[in-house]
Amino acid sequence: MPYPVGVFDSGIGGVSILLEIRKLLNHENIMYFADSFWCPYGTKSVEQIRGRTLKITEFFASQKVKAVVVACNTACSAGLDLVRINNQDIPIIGVEPAVKPAHDITRNGRIGVLSTNLTLQGQKFSILVEKFGNGVEIFTQPAPGLADLVDQGKKDSPETLDMLNRFLQPLLAREIDTLVLGCTHYPFLKDAIQKICGKDIVILDTGLAVAKQTERVLRYRNILGSREEEGTVSFYTSGEASSVKEVLETIWPESVGSVTRVDI
C-alpha cells in the first residue's frame, strides 16, 4: 500500500487544508489526526503545544507516513522548527497567515488579521509582519474561543455569529480592505465573515497554497502517489470519536467512515 500523507490540527480546523489537498492530490492516501482532546491550542502554553506536535508526528512516523502537514497556525508558530529538527527524514509542511498575499492585493494598504493570541504573539508572525509590512498597515485581532466553537460543530450558531461580529468590528473600524484568516478553523466561517464584512473586503486563507506546497514537496522528493487510482482518507482523534465524526459529517463532502480514537 502506498505510504500516506499525515495531516493534523488541534481539532477539525485543519480539514479546511485537507479539503484543498484532497482536491489537488486525490490520488494520495491521507491520514488526518484531530487532536480534539487538546483543542484549542490557542489557550495552551508553547511548551504544551510543542509536546503535542512532537507526539503526533511520532505517531505519524510509526504509521510510515511520507510527509506531514501541520495544518495549524498556532502549532506552526510554537513548534514547527522543533518538529523539523526531530524528523529530518520526513518532510514537514507548515502553514502561516497569508500576510504576503494580502500585502500584494490590498488596495488601500489596510490589512486585518484574525487569529489566535499565540499565533499573533509568536516570532514567526512578527517576522512575517516585518518582512511584508512595508507600505501597509496590519491590524491584528485575537479571537479566543472561536476555534473551539467551530470544533464543537457550532459554526452556524447565534453564539458563534455574535462572537464573530464582536471580533470583526474593531478591524472594520480600521477600514481594512483585506482580511487574513490566521487560523485553519476560520475558513468554515467564511460565508458569515463575508456577510459581516461586506462584499468589498477580500478574505484570504491558506488552504490552496498549502496544498500546492505539499504537491511541490512530494514531487521534489519523487514520492507523489500514482495518479491511476484514487487515494483514501482516514480520520483519527485524541478526543471522543463519535463527537468528532458528527462534526466531520457536516464539513467533509465524502463519506467519513470510521473515526479511530488514538491515545497520544
CA proximity to 52, closest of 63, 65, 39, 64: 39
Cβ-in-10-Å burial (0-12, 13-18, 19+) of 174 comes to: middle
What's the half-sphere exposure (Cβ side, CA atoms, 13 Å) at 148? 14
Q: Which residues are catalytic?
A: 72, 183
Chain centroid, CA 53 distance in Å: 14
Residues facing 261 on adjacent strands: 237
Contact 83, 53 (CB under 8 A): yes
β-bridge pairing 178-181 and 202-204: parallel
The residue type of 176 is: I
List the alpha helices (DSSP H) in 174-223: 190-197, 207-220
For the chain, the first-to-last Cα distance in angstroms comes to: 25
